[in-house]
């Protein structure tokens, strides 16, 4: 697994589960569309990530971190309501985002190691 694939998976999860959350809210909670919007943006950044564009990869990391933080309040709300399906939905979005962050950090570390090895030769 690499950062590109992890980002694509995360974007798809955010879009699908976010739209599901919006529909589950009776299409009244427009804030439920934030996660799908971030998913669309992450999907748009994927080609640049695949081509090792550092700027786009860092933008994707920042957006991913922000969505993890932003999903904290909906998670607490779902826990407060006792909505098990909502808890699973938001928890999966958070887990996929954290999963993507791990692979971004790994790719950044690998790039740094490769850069240092090339400079040392």
Q: Identify the pLDDT of residue 57.
A: 92
Q: Is the separation of the CB atoms in 1 and 32 below 8 Å?
A: no
Residues 63-114: pLDDT tens digits?
A: 999 999 999 999 999 999 998 999 999 999 999 999 999 999 999 898 888 8
Number of helical H runs and strand E runs in the chain: 5, 0
Mean pLDDT (the chain, rounded): 91
In whole angstroms, give the CA distance from residue 51 to residue 31.
32
Looking from the CA of 27 toward its CB, the CA atoms found within 13 Å total: 0
In whole angstroms, give the CA distance from residue 25 to residue 82.
15
| Domain count within the chain | 1
Tokens of 33: 């569309």
pLDDT class of 121 with cuts at 50, 70, 90:
low
Q: Provide the domain limits for residue 24.
A: 3-120
């Amino acid at each position: 697994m690499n950062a590109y694939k992890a980002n694509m998976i995360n974007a798809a999860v955010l879009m699908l589960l976010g739209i599901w959350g919006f529909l589950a809210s009776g299409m009244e909670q427009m804030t439920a569309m934030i996660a799908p919007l971030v998913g669309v943006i992450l999907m748009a950044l994927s080609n640049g990530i695949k081509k090792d564009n550092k700027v786009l990869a860092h933008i994707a990391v920042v957006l991913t971190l922000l969505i993890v933080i932003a999903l904290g309040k909906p998670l607490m709300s779902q826990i407060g309501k006792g909505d098990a399906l909502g808890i699973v939905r938001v928890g999966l979005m958070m887990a996929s985002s954290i999963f993507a962050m791990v692979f971004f950090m790994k790719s950044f570390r690998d790039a740094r190691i490769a850069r240092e090895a090339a400079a040392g030769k």
